[in-house]
Structures are given as structure tokens and as C-alpha cells.
Structure 1
Amino acid sequence: MAHGITLYAAIHYGGWAAVVIAVAWTTAVALFVPREYLERVARRIEQRDAPEPAEPDVDHPPAATPEEVSAATIDWIRSRIADSNGVHLSDLLAHAHAHGLQTDLDVGAFRAVLEGWGIPVRQQLKVGGRNRPGIHRIDLPIRQPADPAPLKNAEPSTSPNYLP
């Protein structure tokens, strides 16, 4: 509609009328743009122009090592198994998806990731009356306790752990 009015004004009144109508139309539209949209655009511009932080962000902990990720995954699987004999991969993946984790994986890719971490997956595991791919509790690696720090400057005779 605005294009038609502008075209009519340009033909009937000349070029200046078309420019005035176009500017007035653009101004009217700009006045009714929602404030949320303008704030979102302003944030994007500020983020684009913001300099890179010189120091690392202290709010974020350092990335976990692969061993820590593997141990945490095994602990998570143990917690999902609870008192059962095992857990199906689809149930594990559904739990992960419910918490916003591994959302880009399907069951096959999830199985490959777990096997890559050394977690054996059985082709068929009966849990809750259903037989599907899963992880049996006895297949999980045994958790190794941390080695206690050796006693420094302790004489064998004065050490509380010394048995003659």
C-alpha cells in the first residue's frame, strides 16, 4: 500500500513528494518497533564490538580431563542402575536428554561414545522385562580408591600403622 501511494505521489506531485512520503513511512514504522527487538539488536552490536577478555574467566572451572569425564560417566551409570542388574542405553540417553546433555546423539552414536571410553555395552540386556542393548552392572570397571599419601618423616616404630 505504501509503495502504491509513493508511486502515485512521485508521478503526480514529483520526486520530492515521493521522498517525503518514503521518509514519513519509514519513521512511522520505526516508531512502532517493539522495544525488546531494539534491545536485542543493541546487545548483538555491543557483543560484536566488545574486545576479547584479556584474562580467563574465573567463574568457569577448568575443563575436565578425559579420565574425570570417564569416571563421572561411570558414576552416573551406576546411579542409574541403582539396585537393578543393569540399564538400557535408551533409558540412559533419555535421562541425559532430559537434562540437556548429549542431545545431538542417538542410541547408536551414544553406544560408540561409551565403548570409546571403555564401557562395555551388551547387545541384549534384560531389565524390567525388556531385552535391549544396555550396560550390565558387573561389566562396569571397578572403581579404584585413591592411594593414601605416604607418611613423611615417620619412623616405623612411631607410625600408627606399624605392626611389628
Structure 2
Amino acid sequence: MKRDIPRALTERLARGSSIVWQRRSEALATWVRAGRRDDLTGWRAVLGPAARLALLGAAGWLAARIIRARPVLMWALAAGWLIAAWRASRPAPDEDAEDGPEDESEQGPAAADPDALRRLLADLIGDRPGVHLSAVLAHLQEHGQGEGWEVAGLRARLEAQGVPVRRSVKVAGRVAYGVHRDDLPAPSPGEAADRAA
């Protein structure tokens, strides 16, 4: 039994590190992409993302120089990372609760029936090739669902419902995590019959 405790701790830290890395990299990628100007074309449109990418590179170079000068700072960075990983992998307080169903606004698409979820995604996609998860999350939050969620949490909920999420869905010239039109679940026989009637 004692041998399982270190394994559980390392697995939790590994899972949390993966979550922290994904959240940070998605946040930085979103920040870099947000520098693109839609009112410009050609090379001028990408000056913003290029400048932000250069700024990130300079910050990384500066951080490396500071850490080389003061290696003791690595301990603080490692401790901060471990704390963030531990918190990120903390199980939700209601995971083990058996009190019955929660409020539907808290559950969002994870609790939605598959047909309603498929219709929602199809409506958000419209005539485009797909929809970004950030747009789905914004839509849900406008309608009182998914408060406090992040894109990674929405992705996990959609995948739990059997909706494939692609890493790079291109919509309106931007590429991000999203649901592609080709991956939408097929309508259930009941919904297909309702449409035919």
C-alpha cells in the first residue's frame, strides 16, 4: 500500500503538469494570435503576432540570463510549477458526491443530451468549416452556462460526450482548438425521424 502513495503523487503531479503546460501554451498562443489585425492584409496583418512572438522570445532570453546569474531562482520556479500542477490536478469537489443531478447550468454540454449538443454545435458552425472552442465557451457563458470554465475544461467535457475536438480548426483565418463540421456526431434515429416528418 505504501508503494502506491508515491506513484499516486507522481501521477497527480504529471497530470497536473500536463494541464498547466496546456493552459499556459494555449493562453500564450491565443495572446500571440490576438495581435493579428483583420483590417489589414498581407505582411502588415501579421506584424502584431510577429511582434508578440519576438517579445516572448526576448522575455525567455532574459529569464534564461537571470536564472544563469542566479541559479537559486530555479528552486522557486520549480516550487511554483509543482504547486500549480498540484492545484490543477485537484479533483473537483463534487466528483465523489452522490447527491443527485446538479443544476443544468453548471453541467453545460457534459449533461446535455447528444441531440441537443449536436444541434448547438451545428448552429454555431453554420456554413463555416468548424467552430473554435473559445466561441462555444463564449456562447455557453452568454447563456448562463460554463461559468469559470476554461477551453481545456470544455474540451474534456465535449470529448466525454464523444465529440472529437481537433487541435487546429481554421475559422475566419484563425487556427485554434475546435470542432470540425466533419466530426459532428450523426443525429440519433429519433431526431432524424423528426426532421423527415
TM-score range, shorter chain: 0.3 to 0.5
Q: More relative contact order in 1 or in 2 (CA 8 Å, sep 6+)? A: 2
- The TM-score, its normalising length taken from structure 1, stands at 0.47
Give the structure with higher Rg (CA): 1
Which protein is richer in helix relative to its size?
2
- The TM-score, its normalising length taken from structure 2, stands at 0.39
